[in-house]
Structure 1
Amino acid sequence: MTQLFDFDSINLSPFVDGKRISLSGADVIPTYDAASGSVLCNVPVSDENIVNDAVASAKRALKGPWAKVIPAERSRMLMRVAQLIRKDAARLATIESLDSGKPLREAKGDIETSARYFEYYAGIADKLQGDTIPLGPDFVSFTMHEPIGVTAHIIPWNFPLVTTARGLAPALAAGCTAVVKPAEQTPLTALVLADILTEAGVPPGVVNIICGPGNKTGALLCEHPDVAHVTFTGSVATGKTVMRAAASHVASVTMELGGKSPVVVLADANMDDALNGTLKAAFMNAGQVCSAGSRLVIEKSCADAFLDKLAARVGAFTLGRGIDDPDIGPVISEQQVRKVASIVAESGAQTLAGGKLGKPSGLNGWFYEPTVLLAKDARSVAVQEEIFGPVLTVQIADDFDHACALAEDTPYGLVGGIYTRDVSKALKFSRHLSAGQIFINQYFAGGVETPFGGTKNSGFGREKGLEGLKAYYAVKTVTARL
């Protein structure tokens, strides 16, 4: 197969204190082209010494050169990062598509969103100001916002650069320093970002980028006593491990731990909008989205006609290599595609579309057919467990109240969506569902500006928007008697 990118052009070495660290003889982890199963390149693993050096570098920068950069200049640096990401967007999107397997159009959108994060938080970096507190004529009392310290960012494999930017940009805007560990499956755009940060004038040590497996490099980073805050996106089980590690030295955490989010379609909805929204919610990035609408809860009176159209649309989806921009790209790894297949096989659900491994012509990678399952049991693994693949589980509701009950009945609470012309029902649903985000008549509504995070097993803390800054600064109160 023709090589579509020269991966030798990417510096794979860890980025510490503003320079690349040569790791001759170090262990390496291969990153794969998920569509073909072939190795793209081998990335050196950052050992304990590198982790310690990265944190030490961030700690020095926090009280050193970075502390002397005025907020207005931090703002200009972040804006330059955004501009440089956009300048290199075509290259970054190609790398992201090949490394993650996602369709090229989605990778292009991710690169623009990454730039937007830096742009958005550039606009607030010089506006983080405190309050005065009226205690009477004998006192002056005011608050200051101070950077929380060295921050660790554990990045997932499904949205590599976007998730890096989502946490890193507000951390820098607040004056923090950072150590970033991208997922071992998709580290490449984070490594390229190191060069962009340098070109934008970010001082050495402010951002350090290290690579390796979560249970080694990531664990060392999370348990490091000089890390003040950990931002983590990943599974519930790993999130609990990260919280325990952070708790050992009383570091704060932001936890985004996935979901099993419902898309509710009521009988009065615009069915074309609901169909298109459901397809996007369930199958974007081959369903490998924490906030995916992976459960369709639909009123019985409109279910048959809707599901016939849904199954036909899903059955017509193309599978292929992400760089060729198919409808559905590969699943990230052999391990993940096996997990998807296992859950479908164990679900006991009726298969309306798909339901088996995909085999695009000429490709030997990790594909699973886009699948629609009609659940027979609300306690089914297909209803209750996050599958993280191109699988949509359908539940039939008798009426609106039943739909609300089904939508709430999982241990997750990240997102919920509803399609209806009845504003009262939409708002009642918004109040009823335990979730961090509710979408009405458009799934994935909002953007960089809208707070994002979960409840229940989906985690806690908020990213995006102005809420996303709060994890990265501490409020200090100063009170003086006159």
Structure 2
Amino acid sequence: MTRTAEDLAKAYFATGAVEELPSGHFIHGAFVPGSTGDMLESDDPGLARAFASFSAGNADDIAQAVESAEKGLAVWRDTPPAKRCQILNRAAALIRERGEYLAFVETLDSGKTLVEARGDVQSCARFFEYYAGAADKLEGSSIPLGPGLTSWTEREPVGITAHIIPWNYPTSTFARGIAPALAAGCAVVAKPAETTPFTALILAQWLHEAGVPAGVLNVVTGLGQDAGAPLVRHPSIAHVTFTGSVTTGVGVMQAAAPNVTRLTLELGGKSPLVALADCDLDRAVDGALWAIFSNAGQICSAGSRLVVERSIHDELLEKLIAKARALKLGHGLTTADVGAINSGLHLGRIAGHVDAARARGCRIVTGGQATLDPETGAGWFFEPTIIDDVAATDPAIQEEIFGPVLAVQVVDNEEEAIAIANATEYGLVAGIYTRDVGKALRLARSIDAGQVTVNDYWAGGIEVPFGGNRKSGFGREKGLEGIDAYTRTKAITIRH
């Protein structure tokens, strides 16, 4: 009988150990030790202490993984699409069957709550199901050139793809890029974040068990500068999918440029949630609450700016503050509402942003401090924080804090809301709360963002394309558009 995540958590809290964690890199269908034998520690953010170690990869490990991927590509690109479909569906079934263990590891490694991790596991399985269904539908088209000429297009895999996986959603982001790459017939080398290495390794093994041939999916763990950088620079990589900060994304672009490597970049965000005067106030409050405090605000698409019309500002903010103060912080493997910050380093960054805002005279109406788990007195936590009536040029508005910190901006009308919503360098997501469909459509078309939702900030899902504009990056993941990055079009013409 499969143990629940709660059972696994009890064993972990009793012993401090985790059973069956993978060891080494996953290369050519097996776990192998790193080339140097050097190891890094992975921390439990809820307790602020290490719970396991993993291999510190380098350029030699990357070279081995890419060589394996070249062999895997020769097999996988010629595997019938219907067979790829069957294997990916089998992988999805395995993920669902064993999902409690994956959710437990995700929670332990990232710091998020178990409820959130279970949702990520279900999304992971759904990604593989969704793109399994696309594998045998990558059709070309015929081109009418007239008598004596037959011309058509075919879609073929781009080759070996590199995936740099972020620490905030290590399980679902792994699947978001790798599922369409595998469906298209590509081979993969993935590098998970150094603070969350384990779910990528586990998933690689499960996918191999489901039938993905050796070499088709490889995972190398380690630091970004030691393993991620040589992966991006490798001349055999045909496409890089990167999720992370703007600064690192710029570095990825520069590193990939000499090889003219294709890119999908999903970078930062400072997304507005616009609450107009005619909105359903309670729905807007709940939307704003979870738009910023889900995963302790460590989401690129978090609704980190609340743009609210003045006439409802006081009532909305009063309700929102009350709900924010009622949120229970704690270890993700307990019944907490909000989990830990992923690392001590990142906790310091969040605290630095808020301290600077306080020093500038910004009005912090709730929260504003780093704290500890009230039950254990340990861990990396930050109070759910709201900063009210912030000027449009203030760094709390312009800079991505990537934590549970909401900045409120007050406007007097719809036109001002649009201008304020667009007044940052980012363009990832926007949410709109209004009962007026006409207003909703005007704002949705006027706000510069890759994805806009109305009356439900997290509406949409795996079927809906996702990606940003401006400094939020380029390219689209999810939906049928998500597979485009992993295919290229070949035109064939015959005179007869």
TM interval, short-chain normalised = over 0.9
Contact 2:45 2:111 in 1 (8 A): yes
The match for 1:350 among 353, 360, 363 is 363
Equivalence for 2:7: none
Count of aligned residue pairs for this structure pair: 481
Deviates more, 1:44-53 or 1:411-420: 44-53
| Matched ranges for 1:27-426 at <5 A | 27-63=38-74, 65-347=75-357, 348=360, 349-361=362-374, 362-426=376-440
Maintained 8 Å contact 1:177/1:205 = yes
Shifted more, 15-24 versus 318-327: the winner is: 15-24
Offset from partner CA, 1:325-364 (integer Å, 9 cap, x none):
3111111111111111111111232011101112222132
CA contact (8 A) 1:143 1:477 kept: yes
Q: For residue 421 of structure 2, what is the amino acid of its counterpart?
A: A
CA drift of 1:138 comes to 1.7
SS at match of 1:324: coil
CA deviation after TM superposition for structure 1 residue 6, in Å: 4.3
Aligned-pair Cα RMSD in Å:
1.2
State the Cα distance separating 1:3 from its structure 2 match. Answer: 4.3
Maintained 8 Å contact 2:24/2:31: yes
8 Å Cα contact 1:35-1:363 kept in structure 2: no
Asked whether the equivalents of residues 375 and 382 of structure 1 are also in contact (C-alpha less than 8 Å), the reply is no
CA contact (8 A) 1:283 1:328 kept: yes
In the alignment, the residues of structure 2 paired with residue 24 and residue 325 of structure 1 have an alpha-carbon distance, to the nearest angstrom, of 41
Cα deviation, 1:429-482, whole Å, max 9, x if unaligned, reads 111111100010100110000000000000000000000010000000001111
1:319/1:358 contact within 8 Å kept = no
Identity %: 49
Bigger mean CA offset, 338-347 vs 163-172: 338-347
Determine if contact 1:372/1:394 at 8 Å carries over to the other structure.
yes
The CA deviation string for residues 87-128 of structure 1, in whole angstroms up to 9 with x for no partner, is: 001111111111101010000000000000000000010111
TM-score w.r.t. structure 1 length? 0.98
The Cα of 1:48 is off from its aligned counterpart by 1.5
Q: Alpha-carbon deviation of 1:22? A: 2.1
**Is the Cα–Cα contact under 8 Å of residues 26 and 205 in structure 2 kept in the other structure?**
no
Contact persistence 2:367–2:384 (CA under 8 A) = yes
- Mapped to 2, the partners of 1:25 and 1:50 lie a distance apart of 9
- Following the alignment from structure 1 to structure 2, what is the Cα–Cα distance between the partners of residues 401 and 309? 25
1: CA distance, partners of 2:104 / 2:421: 37
Give the stretch that moved more between structures: 344-353 or 356-365: 356-365
1:24 and 1:407 map into 2 onto residues whose CA distance is 49
The answer on whether the counterparts of 1:411 and 1:457 sit within 8 Å (CA) in structure 2 is yes
Aligned residue for 1:453, secondary structure, equals coil
Deviation at 1:269, TM superposition (A): 0.3
Counterparts of 2:379 and 2:178, CA distance in 1: 32
Q: 2:332 & 2:488 partners in 1: Cα distance?
A: 42
Report the residue type matching 2:443 in the other structure: F
Task: For structure 2, list consecutive stretches of 5 or more residues without a partner in the other structure.
Answer: 1-11
Match of 2:457 in 1: 443
Contact 1:155 1:233 in 2 (8 A): yes
Secondary structure (helix, strand or coil) at the match of 2:301 reads coil
Q: Distance in 2 between matches of 1:25 and 1:138?
A: 61
The letter of the residue matching 1:278 is: A
4+ residue runs over 4 A deviation: 3-6
Query: Where in structure 1 are there 5+ consecutive unaligned residues?
Result: none
TM-score (norm 2): 0.95
> 1:23 maps to which residue?
34
8 A Cα contact 2:113 2:295, kept in partner:
yes
Partners of 2:35 and 2:60 within 8 A in 1:
no
Quick one: distance in 2 between partners of 1:409 and 1:47?
41
- Structure 2 contact 57–223 (Cα < 8 Å) conserved: no
- The amino acid of 2:139's aligned partner reads Q
Tell me the alpha carbon deviations over residues 21-68 of structure 1, each in whole angstroms, 9 at most, x when there is no partner.
Answer: 1238522221100011110111111121110010111112212x2233
CA distance in 1, matches of 2:390, 2:330: 31
Q: Displacement, 1:5?
A: 7.2
Flag the 1:282–1:208 CA change in 2: closer, same or farther, 3 A.
same
